Chain A
Amino acid sequence: MSIQTIITWVVVFAVFALTIKPIGTYIVRVFTFQPTFLDRVLRPVENGIFRVVGVSRDDTMNAKTYALALLLTNMAWALGAYILLRLQGALPFNPQHFPDISPLLAFNTATSFTTNTNWQAYAGGSTMSYFSQFAVLSYLQFVTPATGGAAAVAFLRMVSGKKIGNFFVDLTLMVTRLLLPLAVVVTIILVGQGVPETLAPYLHLRSITGQAQVLPRGPIASFEAIEHLGQNGGGYTNANSANPLENPTAFSNIIETVSMGILPVAFFYAFGVMTGRKKTAWTFVGVAGTIFVGMLALIYFPEAAGNPIINALGLHTHANMVGKELRFGVGGTSIFETSTMSFTTGSVASAHDSYLPLSSLSFFLGMFLNMVFGGKGVGLLNLLMFVIITIFLMGLMVGRTPEFLGKKIETKEVTLASIAFLIHPLLILVGSAIAVASPLGLQGIFNPGPQGLGEILYGFSSAAANNGSAFGGLGAALPFYEVALGIVVIIGRYGSIVAMLFIGESLLNKRSVPETSGTMRTDTFLFGGILWGSIVILNALTFFPIMAIGPIAEQYLMMAHHLF
């Protein structure tokens, strides 16, 4: 392992460690309406929006109306995005004169961007006008992570005994107070590193050998900034952050990696501040953090060792460089990909389809668990769902009434948490099974052998986890996948959010039980260990069989130098 790899990793971890407390505290201050440093600039803007909406900061809803407001607003965005994409040819800022987007692709793109998945069945640089890129796609990359964040804030308020709040207020503040200020800073750093930010048309040039080259340009840096800060992951061009136009240097790679993580990580701490249980929050950070480090190791070491089949040729160096860019190296690429799979961003700095089987296992792990910090706020909700299930299991084992945050966990909470847990594997496994059983689905396979199964499974996992990255070989532009994945992203996104909102309200309405010596504590090393164990066991039971005939089978075949 090179010294540069170590320094890169240390810098990324250090930024998370240094920002978790200040940003976590800041999140709580914003959403409990305490004064913060941007008040003077942003309050007038927000008040303007609130006046149009017809709400005031301290209005509140209930779980049902909050969920309904969330769903209806998201539906309106999907519809609006669909219409604007269909009309692309007639809209401004289209210097390349790209035509309207087809109905199926517009449906797939509108749903996948509205659900924060950002699965892309198109190549941005040759499909989308500047207007579609910034006024439709970049816009959705602001408001959809804000939606997830708002749901998490609402849940946190309820479990800390406060009123749920107003969806429109939370959404607006999420955009103005968290995403916008960070996006401005990140954009400027990225432009300094060489990411274009212009409205000028594509650059036509002729190289010294006389070869013509057309460089896509546009407002790429501002797109890139929010793509990562919101764990969106929709790339401006087809190769996403592997493209030097989106990610030109080793430093820009670190900036994008860090951008993905600071908000999801800080949300874990915000949970602790909001509920007054910081130790419990650190336990959660420990659980997610150890899995993050494990995923990083599982990606880095196989890739650095290289593909045994290629290594047998006796070349000068050993590392799997298929689909990787030289400027990041294996170390920089590995931390980027670990982040994109943990924080469910889905942008990629390399080609996931070309990774070795063990590294793919790490990608799948991130999407299956969906709580290794996860998307901003949403990952926290997923973790809390596992916490409720774990507490229930512990309660069964020792014969005590399960409690969490001073409230009894009863039938209703466990039922809702189980539903939220089961939706995820249901979408992934049933979806993949249908695809594998139908010729329409099989048509999409690019790589033969177990890798082909992996491509389908990855597609459905990515859609269900609202990740958005892909084993790029899969024929995502086939109508079958445009429709099937378009549906999966919707259920995967809203199913668990709505369930968690109702759990929150149910807990809010319960009487607090005083803590006694008999209370099961959630802030101990022991609880962290049991939580870790239940997460791993529950997911292993669900997903091990499919992994065994996918990446694990392929690993053994690769070791035997078997080719397809």
Chain B
Amino acid sequence: MKWLRSILGVTLGTWLLVGLGYPLVMTGISQVLFPYQANGSAVKLGGRVVASRHVGQYYHQPQYFWGRPSATTPPYNSLASTPSNLGPTNKLLLDHVKSRIKTLQDSIPGLKVSQIPVSLVESSGSGLDPDISVQSALIQIPRVSHATGLSRGFLTRLVDEHVLGPQFGVFGRNRINVMELNLAVYRALHPHA
């Protein structure tokens, strides 16, 4: 009986402290300190939420820059994040990579395989990767330009402006947030939005 009391006591005590108290208090503190981040880093356009800063979105239209391949169903399903889990010697992996190369070449005339970064044809870990490499954006400019009528020079400048350097100058690598770049394209196409 003494043990029952001890076990229930220690369980209940720690549960009130770290099972309930900790998450609820931390939620309170976070809402005060970082209300924007704590609620999902929402990006707004004309008062309407159109994205989260950190979570990738699916773009497959010719007038927008495309992100990395996503293994979720449908692509970029943020409710069901998952990688492809394809192993290094799985035939499907090679087939997928080849067909993605073909899709890119079909949509961008004159694109050479040696210009395509490997990250643009291999799927990400979450299926929600928000970023692409700078080279991945640059090679898509001809397609976006053709579909939107925006000049290549303007789009190149847009890409340059959207390069995110390493965090604090030292962590991670140069990359581009696809959603932010496409938002800029959208703004250029809809000046009054």
> What residues make up the interface of A, taking CB atoms closer than 8 Å to B?
2-4, 7-8, 11, 45, 48-49, 52-55, 69, 72-73, 76-77, 80, 123, 125-126, 134-136, 138-139, 142-143, 168, 171-172, 175-176, 179-180, 183-184, 187-188, 191-200, 202-203, 205-209, 211, 213-217, 219, 221-223, 226, 237-239, 242-245, 248-251, 253-254, 306-307, 309-310, 313-329, 332, 348-351, 353-357, 446-451, 454, 471-473, 554, 557-558, 562-564
Contact = CB atoms under 8 A, between A and B. Distances in A.
Interface residues of B, number: 101
Contacts of B91: 563-564
Interface in B123-137: 123-133, 135
A550 B47 CA distance: 55
Contacts of A242: 81, 83, 124-126
Given A196-B37, A315-B118, A451-B88, A208 B50 contact: yes
B76 to A, nearest CB: 8
Given A309-B89, A323-B123, A250 B167 contact: yes
A319 B118 contact: yes
Nearest to B60: A209
B51 A209 contact: no
B11 A76 contact: yes
A194 B52 CA distance: 10
10 contacts: A53-B5, A139-B19, A171-B14, A196-B38, A196-B39, A217-B39, A243-B126, A323-B85, A326-B68, A473-B87
B43 to A, nearest CB: 9
Contacts of A200: 39
Contacts of A208: 45, 50-51, 182-183, 186
B128 to A, nearest CB: 6
Given A188-B30, A449-B89, 20 more contacts: A2-B173, A52-B10, A126-B80, A175-B14, A200-B39, A207-B58, A208-B186, A213-B55, A237-B81, A249-B167, A253-B171, A309-B89, A313-B113, A321-B119, A326-B124, A326-B129, A327-B173, A329-B172, A356-B88, A564-B89
B83 A350 contact: yes
B166 to A, nearest CB: 5
Interface of B: 2-3, 5-15, 17-20, 22-23, 26-27, 29-31, 33-34, 37-42, 45, 48-59, 61, 64, 68, 76, 78-91, 93-94, 97-98, 101, 113-119, 121-133, 135, 166-168, 170-173, 175, 179, 182-183, 186
A383 B76 CA distance: 43
A12 to B, nearest CB: 11
B26 A219 contact: yes
Given A217-B39, A354-B87, A564-B91, A53 B10 contact: yes
Q: Which of A317, A356, A357, A448 has the most CB of B within 10 A?
A: A317
